[in-house]
Structure 1
């Protein structure tokens, strides 16, 4: 009887290898051969699942996005029912920031993919839709419902991520900057 193959599991194995290569050596080191070596599979197997580097990159980016969504969902669930809009946004953004070793690896990969898609927009067609959806959600939670303010908060998150990854900010500094921006948008919270 032939062995049953879980294709999604193999694709994820390859995507994880791609992310390790990208996190350790940068996207310029990502090739079918390097990814195959990191995954412990043949280059032919990688090509079986991903015909092009762009396909492989888009799938790996979707894995990073899923991980981020899981972190956000878990963090928001810990807040309980009916958290304040400010706390909800702070929790969501903090869950997406590269504040520890685990999230730094995903952050490095996400940043590398953003740079990759900046010169190859066709490599990640879902990014525009994801950004629009996130901006719309943030705007719906803001007191002003202002889309421009939501876009600014999203840009702040991305910038903080870059500064965290580059070592210019500590996690505490990044969270302080996030809190300062949230104070501007929601008003300064009362002190206890």
Structure 2
């Protein structure tokens, strides 16, 4: 049992090293040798954890996805009495990685998205993650009840995911400030509920 715990911890340590290097250089600058140096382990230790670089990258992407999903769940649990609309706003905020403390994570995430265009294993990992987020968003929209009766929850969930990713990109390249991006999706959510509310 102790060996298994050490193995899991080492894989996570290596994943953090991958993310640190990807933030500095992009994924093209991530080598097994540099990852070993950044994680302060031997090359052999890295190779015992991961048979190939791609396997290592897939694990690192899963590691980031897990971290983001945990934050989404934490925001939802923190205020169990909140409305579905408020919960949805919290969830989109976490997924869009707009806050300053998540800027490095956003850079790494988009580096993985770009690499996934030419890597089937990375694309499959991303698709599973997006599917889980879409399901969570769909559920929140469906829970809005009468306010969302005229909406297609799945279509709106897809729209929000695409909006979140797009805003992440626009903030990273400096086209929008984090506050401007936040205003965009807040306005979208507000319009969404107003447009579907029954007439008084």
Q: In the TM superposition, what is the alpha-carbon distance from 1:57 to its structure 2 partner?
A: 0.6
Residues 50-59 or 164-173, more deviating: 164-173
Residue 188 of structure 2 corresponds to: 181
**Structure 2 matches for 1:57-72, cutoff 5 A?**
57-72=57-72
Residue 148 of structure 1 corresponds to: 155
Determine whether 1:172 maps to 2:179. Answer: yes
Bigger helix share: 2
Aligned mates of 1:92, 1:156 — CA distance in 2? 13
**Structure 2 matches for 1:97-136, cutoff 5 A?**
97-136=96-135
Aligned mates of 1:10, 1:85 — CA distance in 2? 38
Q: In the TM superposition, what is the alpha-carbon distance from 1:61 to its structure 2 partner?
A: 0.7
Aligned length in residues: 185
Aligned mates of 1:75, 1:136 — CA distance in 2? 17
State the SS of the aligned residue for 1:132. Answer: helix
State the SS of the aligned residue for 1:41. Answer: coil
Change (3 A) 1:99 1:129: closer
TM-score (norm: length of structure 1): 0.88
4+ aligned runs moved over 4 Å, structure 1:
none
Residues 19-28 or 125-134, more deviating: 125-134
- Deviations 1:42-64 (Å, cap 9, x if unpaired)? 22211111111111011111110
Determine whether 1:163 maps to 2:170. Answer: yes
Q: In the TM superposition, what is the alpha-carbon distance from 1:41 to its structure 2 partner?
A: 1.6
TM-score (norm: length of structure 2): 0.85
Residue 27 of structure 1 corresponds to: 27
- Gaps of at least 5 residues in structure 2 are 142-147, 196-200
State the SS of the aligned residue for 2:41. Answer: coil
Aligned mates of 1:31, 1:6 — CA distance in 2? 23
- Gaps of at least 5 residues in structure 1 are none
